[in-house]
């Protein structure tokens, strides 16, 4: 499989390493100041860039008939435009706030727990996310996905980084050197606390999931999620 890497920072380099180990070829390594020359040679593109580049990268892929997965966060104001373009071009597209296989199991666990807790009004839910200091967006896309999963299965209606009001989920975003990503969901009452937690030990889990998703997407048309890739639907 020939892969275009759109974003060649720390994550891009780890994705490259895993892709090569799995027998794939890299035909484009694109940073912000590098053109799309070579994109047309790719079977699939993997976008791990920056928020202001993601929509441009995805658009270029879909316009050239290249299926694309994106793990860039902080750009979702343009997500529906990318979905519409994918459908118009009959392309293939996956966005995930986190491609880690373990995190996607964690997402399912979070939704299941939210359903269980929805009638226990004595518990208040909150989320904490911790990342390295180079992460540009806050809260993380993963934390937002966790909050959305709770909202879908409870009476909560919104999330906030500020002091929460009624039916808001507070997200605490911390930036600490050399932390790949830690996410915790807390249910607090006056008598106890329930916590579920996912801790990434390195970027390799995110990178492996991205390559697995890219392998799955080749030859498919439509807009998909990691639930499709992992057969969780």
Residue 90: CA count within 13 A, CB half-sphere? 1
How far is 100 from 58, CA to CA, in rounded Å? Answer: 20
With tokens 């180990």, the residue in question is: 21
> Looking at 2, 10, 132, 135, which residue is catalytic?
135
Q: DSSP 3-state assignment of 1?
A: coil
How far is 151 from 215, CA to CA, in rounded Å? Answer: 31
Q: Please indicate whether residue 183 is annotated as part of the active site.
A: no
| Burial of 142: CB neighbours in 10 Å, binned 0-12, 13-18, 19+ | buried
Q: Please indicate whether residue 13 is annotated as part of the active site.
A: no
Q: Which whole-number Å values give the CA distances from 159 to 144, 165, 169, 199, 217, in the listed order?
A: 8, 10, 4, 22, 31
Residue 185: CA count within 13 A, CB half-sphere? 27
How far is 11 from 13, CA to CA, in rounded Å? Answer: 5
| Burial of 89: CB neighbours in 10 Å, binned 0-12, 13-18, 19+ | middle
> Looking at 24, 30, 131, 198, which residue is catalytic?
131
Residues involved in catalysis: 131, 135
């Amino acid at each position: 499989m020939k892969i275009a890497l759109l974003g060649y920072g720390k994550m891009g380099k780890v994705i490259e390493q895993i892709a090569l180990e799995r027998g794939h070829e890299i035909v484009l390594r694109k940073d912000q100041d590098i053109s799309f020359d070579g994109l047309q040679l790719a079977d699939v593109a993997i976008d791990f860039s920056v928020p202001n580049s993601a929509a441009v990268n995805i658009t270029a892929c879909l316009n050239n008939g290249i299926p694309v997965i994106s793990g860039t966060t902080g750009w979702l104001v343009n997500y529906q435009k990318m979905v519409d373009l994918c459908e118009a071009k009959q392309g293939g597209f996956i966005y995930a706030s986190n491609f880690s296989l373990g995190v996607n199991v964690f997402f399912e666990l979070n939704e299941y727990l939210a359903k269980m807790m929805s009638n226990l009004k004595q518990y208040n839910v909150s989320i904490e996310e911790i990342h390295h200091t180079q992460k540009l967006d806050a809260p993380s896309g993963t934390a937002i996905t966790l909050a959305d999963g709770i909202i879908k299965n409870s009476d909560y209606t919104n999330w906030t980084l500020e002091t929460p009001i009624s039916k808001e989920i507070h997200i605490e975003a911390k930036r600490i050197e050399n932390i790949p990503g830690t996410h915790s969901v807390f249910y607090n009452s006056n008598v106890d606390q329930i916590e579920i937690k996912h801790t990434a030990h390195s970027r390799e889990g995110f990178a492996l999931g991205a390559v697995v998703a890219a392998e799955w997407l080749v030859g498919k048309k439509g807009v998909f999620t990691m639930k499709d890739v992992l057969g969780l639907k």
